[in-house]
Structure 1
């Protein structure tokens, strides 16, 4: 069956783990305040030797809310946060809620056109940005938007040894504003479960970015999902490798830390060698990131099992996971990478491998299971007419649950198309096996039609990852006079390894049907990816 309702995998759960959860707080702000009340002196943010306690974060976010309110910010308005993984991101996020506003995380890789699109679509009236991004990008954009107040800050702020700030004429220094309003209580606001907490912009892989309206109910539910699914507590240390602007970082890093009061370790931006050092120094216990993060960790010179000894709770999502990589990582570091799956529109996870379980690999396709639907979540597998398909048959995944967003900001037609009746049509193709495990095959649009035969890039990529020389692989369809389309692989190699294109083609030919193996292989130093680690196949097709 394709409607998931009997949960045969519950026997694999840790003892006493429930099949559902009750949302404990009316808003993400309420869950933060509960953590402050429990342990005000506990460290909540760690950043290159610097520490911020829950009490200090409460004070700083009060000051942020009071400061922007004094500048004219009104409840319901939006604050855009254009920054890397720095403490100021969290300060602005929680402070926005205290002012009754909606946070708009912005990809720090965005340039003028992309930043302008997000600011215009969201109607943000406040922009928080790093000084470097202000000078490089934002200063050229804001005059054409609704932004009235620009707050600039340095990525060195809150380090144990901060550097001198850079002057940004025409902006307000964030540190100065926080100092000026420290101790000032902002006006009381009321936030309910259905109020919007974030406008989280989609990556744009299927068209112009859209602002998914993640409500406070969505945020609290999936923060609790991570806590209960993985078994996280305030004795854990969360390693923030996922970008905070992305839904994974927003929920699995920030929201989880605010819920359980556990420290979140931030590192500005991901660097594999720095991450290994930080894990050891901070005793990090839990993280989630794209599989490219863990591939990078395996390729750090001198990396060994001791380097990640404390990091015993690992999940990965956002990009397909080759089973061979999970095996290699476990052999090297001794820890299993649990798969999970979700979208911006599901406020992070809709599926996950139960913690402590090993995901099955489908013997026919070689795909690694993304797990099972998380608490209170129903996932259907449907054909092109919307009819349920039997177990084992491929169709589109349609998701319903407390984590599914109500729609897109200012786009009722797009909302109706993607979320008819509140059910999310994911655009992802997959299937459920007879035991209830789910497998995601690919995006509908990425399917290759080679002479009338359907080829899913992921299956070919998984085979390429089995070759010892392959570090990363992406497969696309390219024009072919005879077959219409043919299969082309783009590959980056592991340090110290070499292989010829003909060898890789032969390797795949021995393991795949004749119409599936790549006819062309191109080597690149790095494959193009989104900041969240998702391979940009469209860039390879157009390049």
Structure 2
């Protein structure tokens, strides 16, 4: 692909953004944090239930933990595992890691023993910071195979006094034998040695493992430059107010939580509102309590908030901007959310490998909708190029369906110790996303589906998302996923799995007829299964592979 790439999307940028092109202010995560600290150390950095930590406190606590890590012999380039929920300790651990030049490893707290062992082996982590209950239930058995691991345990009940039973109901052990206690470390009076205030931008900041929706997770190596560019990009693209509270919906271990929550908070010297894990009512109440202004998360999270009987319109009254990613958004969901809360949900698109944000709807634009009722995912953000490629990597014309290729300063250089996977992921200097879509003549990008999810029914291509878009127009449907299942006659046939809105009922045969009236004969689902909940990743992505 040459540099003669057409960029029609530039005409969709706000005029002020064209007059003053975006340039990231910092090249590393620590400098970004220092920006927030210098903007006002007494500013709130974290709201966690009834407790607020200032940026000065966050700096002091991470200094103390950094000093401990140095005392344990952890040096530049070593890996520190963060096996945590959405708690203040995640930020303390991440900053401490950076202050000694080490590399964070974000680990999904939903991971069980086999998965945890795989990630610890792959990353070569020397430290694991985790919850006491996770240590007892999962990590303690795994760590028998890692006798030299420095293990630090903590409790989600620390740094707050409310103990909300909806998310903090389970008592954790007071301490775990054979581990270091984080609160004791942070309470130490030992003065930390001289710590770093900035890091080489090309050095790894954190290893973020892919969600595993495509199989074995791979560790994307996010550099400090990747992180700081994308973190600065969020407020610039969305026009976030300096100091405007950010609602922590996405998991912090996930790339959206890392950059769209932690990074964006640092970039705007804003407080991040945390609540351990996602619970619709708890999150909504926290938004009201601390006057959240910005939220980003999976569309399934906003569907849950919208359908929760415990969430009222006034809970989100302070929220000015909502963005979503992780999956294409049905227009019907956007309309329903707008009707209830008066907030327009705008789409974003990115991958772990693009450090989250790569494509998004401009802040002053309404999202166009395609013929199937699906919203565009946006246009390439500042400094980012996207094109639609054929099988040979050649540029396809507008409205032609192909694989989405992208490049930009936020795209990682590769995977941790996986040269083969890195080579497969790139075409020249473009990241092969594995997602199929098209770009219209104005530069709007539409997702069709994951390349690997295409269904071959009687020789016809069926994209699950197209069928799902039709299913979402049924008034009883809350969530839907479509997969291909083996069929002796057709090769594959279409199966739909749906959950229903509260108080609604639906006969599977009725939904089959509903779809049959609205799409070609080879596309409509021959089988419909109704379930209470669809299986999802911790970030809210529906796991189609578990439905086959």
Q: TM bucket by the smaller chain?
A: over 0.9
Q: Distance in 2 between matches of 1:302 and 1:115?
A: 35
Kindly tell me: are residues 121 and 189 of structure 1, through their superposed partners in 2, closer, same or farther at Cα, counting changes over 3 Å? Answer: farther
1:423 matches 2:430: yes
Distance 1:157 1:14 in 2: 47
* 1:162-241 equivalent positions in 2, closer than 5 A: 166-180=174-188, 183-188=191-196, 191-241=199-249
1:49 matched to which residue of 2?
50
Q: How far, CA to CA, are the matches of 2:331 and 2:5 in structure 1?
A: 24
- Between the aligned partners of 1:214 and 1:19, the Cα distance in structure 2 is 27
Aligned counterpart, 1:23? 24
Alpha-carbon distance in structure 2 between the residues aligned to 1:132 and 1:8: 49
Per-residue deviation at 1:323?
1.0
Q: Which position in structure 1 is the counterpart of 2:111? A: 110
Structure 2: which 5+ runs fail to align? 164-170
Which position in structure 1 is the counterpart of 2:525?
Answer: 518
1:296 aligns with 2:304: yes
Secondary structure in structure 1 of the residue aligned to 2:350 = strand
More deviation, 40-49/10-19: 10-19
Could you say if the C-alpha distance between residues 340 and 18 of structure 1 is closer, same or farther in structure 2, counting changes exceeding 3 Å? farther
Q: Tell me, in whole angstroms, the C-alpha distance in 2 between the residues paired with 1:346 and 1:284.
A: 26
So what's the TM-score if we normalise by structure 2? 0.95
1-side partners of 2:189 and 2:5: how far apart?
51
| 1:440 and 2:426 matched | no
Contact 2:80 2:104 in 1 (8 A): yes
Q: Give the 4+ runs in structure 1 shifted more than 3 A.
A: 1-12, 14-20, 160-165, 185-190
Consecutive unaligned residues of structure 1, counting only runs of 5 or more, are: none
Once residues 207 and 547 of structure 2 are traced to their aligned partners in structure 1, the CA distance between those partners, rounded to angstroms, is 29
Equivalences for 1:108-507 in 2 at 5 Å? 108-145=109-146, 148-161=149-162, 166-180=174-188, 183-188=191-196, 191-301=199-309, 303-363=311-371, 365-507=372-514
Q: Does the 8 Å CA contact 2:129/2:153 hold for their aligned counterparts? A: yes
Partners of 1:413 and 1:54 lie apart in 2 by 41
C-alpha contact 2:82 2:129 (8 A) present in aligned 1: yes
> Alpha-carbon deviation of 1:16?
4.7
Once residues 18 and 190 of structure 2 are traced to their aligned partners in structure 1, the CA distance between those partners, rounded to angstroms, is: 42
CA shift, 1:302, in A, is 5.2
**1:78–1:123 CA contact under 8 A, matched in 2:** yes
Secondary structure of residue in 1 paired with 2:446: strand
CA-to-aligned-CA distance 1:113-165 (integer Å, 9 cap, x gap): 00001111000000000011000001011232375210000001111457886
Deviations 1:365-398 (A, max 9, x none): 3331000000111112111111111110000011
* Separation in structure 2 between the aligned mates of residue 306 and residue 339 of structure 1, nearest angstrom: 23
Aligned-residue Cα RMSD (Å) equals 1.8
Deviation at 1:79, TM superposition (A): 0.3
3-state SS of 1:221 partner: helix
Q: 1:75 to 1:390 in 2, by over 3 A?
A: same
Cα distance in 1, alignment partners of residues 197 and 145 from structure 2? 30
The farther-off stretch of 157-166 and 527-536 is 157-166
Kindly indicate whether the alpha-carbon contact (under 8 Å) linking 1:112 and 1:141 is maintained by their aligned counterparts in 2: yes
> Aligned pairs, how many?
540
Secondary structure of 1:348 counterpart? coil
Corresponding residue of 2:166? none
Q: Counterparts of 2:15 and 2:309 in 1: how far apart (Å)?
A: 36
Give the C-alpha shift of residue 13 in structure 1.
Answer: 2.0
SS across alignment from 1:180: coil
- Alignment partners' CA distance in 1, 2:194 and 2:217: 33
Report if the CA contact (8 A) 2:231-2:259 is conserved.
yes
Q: Is the 8 A contact 2:133 2:173 kept in 1?
A: no
The 1:412/1:388 distance shift into structure 2, 3 A limit, reads same
Which deviates the most, 84-93 or 294-303?
Answer: 294-303
Q: CA offset at residue 353 of structure 1?
A: 0.2
> Cα–Cα, structure 1 residues 211 and 146, in superposed 2: closer, same or farther, change >3 Å?
farther
Q: 1:509 to 1:146 in 2, by over 3 A?
A: farther
